[in-house]
Amino acid sequence: MFVRNILSAIIISVAPVSSVLAAGGDTPPIPSQDWSFSGPFGTYDKAALQRGYKIYREVCASCHSMKRVRFRNLEALGYNEDQIKAIAAEYSVEDGPNEDGDMFERAALPSDAFISPFPNDNAAKAANGGAFPPDLSLMTKARANGSNYVHALMTGYKDKLPHGVELSDGQYWNTYFTGNKIAMAPPLMDESISYEDGTIETLDQYAKDISHFLTWAADPYMEERKRTGFKVILFLLIFAGVMYGVKRRIWSNIH
């Protein structure tokens, strides 16, 4: 009985790995990038965030929603109130009902969430060959090593397939995607997005910028949290020093 239970556990644990290998093959380790927000004193690069948002607007937003981010949150990227209002006004949302009980269209406001490209999940699947494009609001939190994963995914597409591998219609080969076969076409390539600030327009740079933006979207209070943590640690160190001095003074005359 004991042996049978052990064998069952081994089979269960190996089964997912086997299915992954059958789907395409092993995925190599995710390469690590040098991020400005890494480490206890890391911060977001606002220029990179704005470039990443530009990529999302011009490329990703045609398929992927970001329902947890509101236009007013763009203030953290360095946009002022007028710029945010102008960005939001480019979109329309359904609102209502009005006094007549009817729904109506209006220009989006800074308080509105980013507008989804599809009215519902079924429409999203139908427009993408049955594959559902996930919401990107928490993508870097939903994936292990999220920021590096997004960068690797964007740069991991390969035209030359491994020997013996075939792709179905609507499938693409990605080195870092689990199983390697992905339904999303390569979204970025060199010089596909124009940067006004003179930043190089390469696939690697695009991948870094969109990863930077999605990391901020999933963790917008990271900088504040790090500052608070530093203050708490500093306070505890000072408090420990004061208490040690008090202890020395109280017990100084006791032998």
Three-state secondary structure readout of 184-223: CCCCCCCCCCCCCCCCCCCHHHHHHHHHHHHHHHHCCCHH
- 177 backbone dihedrals φ, ψ, rounded to 5°: -85, 140
Q: Is the pLDDT of residue 247 over 90?
A: no
Per-residue pLDDT tens over the stretch 158-181: 999 988 889 998 899 999 999 999
| Beta-ladder partners of 105 | 94
Cβ atoms of 198 and 47 within 8 Å: the answer is no
Q: Per-residue pLDDT for 24 more than 60? A: no
pLDDT of residue 249: 84
% the chain with pLDDT above 90: 76
Confidence at residue 27, expressed as pLDDT on a 0 to 100 scale: 79
Write the pLDDT tens digit of every residue in 186-217. Answer: 999 999 999 999 999 999 999 999 999 999 99
pLDDT for residue 1 is more than 70: no
Q: What's the angle, vertex CA 218, arms to CA 217 and CA 224, rounded to 5?
A: 85
Bond into 16 cis (ω within 30):
no
Domains belonging to the chain, first-starting first, are: 23-31+137-247 (1.10.760.10)
Question: What pLDDT does residue 157 have?
Answer: 97
